[in-house]
Every structure is written in C-alpha cells, then in structure tokens.
Amino acid sequence: MNKVTTKTLFEKKQKGEKITMITAYDYTFAKIFDSCMVDILLVGDSLGMVILGYDSTIPVTMDDMEHHVRAVSRGAKYSMVVADMPFLSYHTTVEEAVKNAGRLIRAGAYAVKMEGCDDVYDKIEAVIKAQIPVMGHLGLTPQSVNIFGGYDLRAKEEAEAKKLVEDAKKLEKAGVFAIVLEKVPAHVAKEVQRSVNVPVIGIGAGPYCDGQVLVCYDMLGMYEDFKPKFVKRYAEVGNIIKDAVKRYIEEVKKGEFPGKEHSY
C-alpha cells in the first residue's frame, strides 16, 4: 500500500470513508500502529503529559518534539506522520513559525499541526507557502488552557458555535489539509463537517466528523492521571503491564527466572 498523503485523506472524505488517527511518541508504538494501517500517526504535544509527566502541554519544547518525531517517523512506513508545533513555536513571527515547522519536517514529519485561527492565521499561511502541509486544530485548544482557565467543553453557545464554523472555513481558505476538532457538542461538529471540504477529525466531537483521533495511552488504558468522558478504553494495558512486572519480580526473587532456556 502506498503511504497516506493529503490526497488520500481528501478522497476518503469525498467517499465518506472514515479517517483514523492515533498519537504515537516512539518507534515501537509507531511500528505497531503503522502495521494496523492507521491513516495518521500524530506526534502530539500531549507527550508533555503522557511521556514527560507535565500537567499540561505548555512546557513542551521544539527539542522535545523533534526528538519524538525522529523516533516515530522511523517506525512509520504506511501512516502519515503529523507533528504538533508546540507552545510558542509559531506565535511570535512568521519567520520563526516557518523555521520551526521546517525543523519538524526535517525530523521526519509529513505535516505539522497548529492550534487556533485568527491569532496565528498569518503563520499558518506562511508555513503552507513554505510548502509544508498544515493540519488545523479548533474547539478546545490545550495550549490556550491558561487563557480559558480550563479544559471545558467549547462552542456550547450559539455565537461561539457560529464563530467555530467561520474559523473552519477560514482555515480551509488558508489551505489546511485537515482540521482537528476537540471537545465540542456533536451537532456543532456536524455543522463544521458539512461546512468545509477538508476532513474534520474529531476528539470528543461526536460521530459526525470525517475521522477520529485518540491519545494512545488513553485508549490503551495506560494513562491514569485523568479520564475525559470522550475516551474509550479499548484495552487495559496498564493492568496487563502491572501483572507482567509483578510476576517478573516474583520469579526473580524466587530464583525462577532466568531458567535454563534463558541462560548460556
């Protein structure tokens, strides 16, 4: 199978075929997810929380992102690798935004993701002009957590919902190839999905989106610090790991491991 491109995603939306996306942060997970033929691997700045243990995505740096993008891209043969541009890496000047987007592309990403619309519009345009595909991100934008004062549901009110649809259209006009839509009511997401030709990929945005994304550590049941309603746990890998490590400890203590078959 050919590697997933922006064209593949656009065609999927045209045909009404759902797009699948999952976060990945390292080579081994990337390789496993890629073998499942997921369309997009997102090296999300959620790595600040699930990999680095911060309580938000704000502390994540370009160096952090580059490091993980390199690892993931080595494991992706089929899936498209998209890298989040971290906090403050695209907010100062267009030059800075293009330079930082370029670093993530050189590290192996196919495209970058940028949160917001009006505040960073000129930067999104500049990165696309530099021939770097950009994925938008609207609704709940975690890098703005301290401006909003939390991670509440967005676009609950009519006015905010209208603005969201307008923003999605503006991003489409700027040339983004897809838009992530986070934590908004399902009927609002439906309106956004209908209003643009680019694929809308939801997280906590209901069933009408063109695709879905989840944080791998959430859907695998490994991240326990908090559990949003929109997460479905497809496995309890955290428990599987705990059982395995407990057995290992026990066997080492009892002298049962290593056995003859593991020894030279």
Which of the residues are catalytic?
182
Residue 232, annotated ligand binder?
no
* Residue 141 is a binding residue for ligand KIV (CB under 6 A): no
Task: Return the biggest CA–CA distance within the chain.
Answer: 70
72 in Cβ contact with 102 (< 8 Å): no
Contact region for ligand KIV (CB under 6 A) — 38-46, 118-126, 146-154, 183-191? 38-46
Alpha-carbon gap, residue 13 to 18, rounded angstroms = 7
Residue with tokens 């021939």: 131
Residue 172, annotated ligand binder? no
DSSP 95: H
Q: What is the CA radius of gyration of the chain?
A: 20
Residue type, 97: A
Residue 200 lies near ligand KIV (rule: CB under 6 A): no
Question: Dihedral, CA atoms, 140, 133, 119, 96, nearest 10 degrees?
Answer: 120
What is the closest distance, in whole angstroms, from the C-beta atom of residue 54 to Na ion in the complex? 13
Determine the size of the site formed for Na ion (CB under 5 A). 3
- 64: contact with ligand KIV by CB under 6 A: no
Interface with ligand KIV includes 213 (CB under 6 A)?
Answer: yes
DSSP 61-91: -HHHHHHHHHHHHHH-SSSEEEEEPPTTSSS
Ranked by CB distance to ligand KIV, the top (closest) residue is: 44
* Cα separation, 39 vs 98, whole angstroms: 25
Answer yes or no whether residue 112 interacts with ligand KIV by CB under 6 A. no
User: Does 84 engage in binding with Na ion (CB under 5 A)?
Assistant: yes
Report in angstroms how near the CB of residue 51 gets to ligand KIV at its nearest: 11
Q: Which does 189 bind (CB under 5 to 8 A by kind): Na ion, ligand KIV, none?
A: none
Q: Does 203 bind ligand KIV (CB under 6 A)?
A: yes
Binding site residues, Na ion, CB under 5 A = 44-45, 84
Binding site residues, ligand KIV, CB under 6 A = 23, 42, 44-46, 84, 180, 203, 213, 215
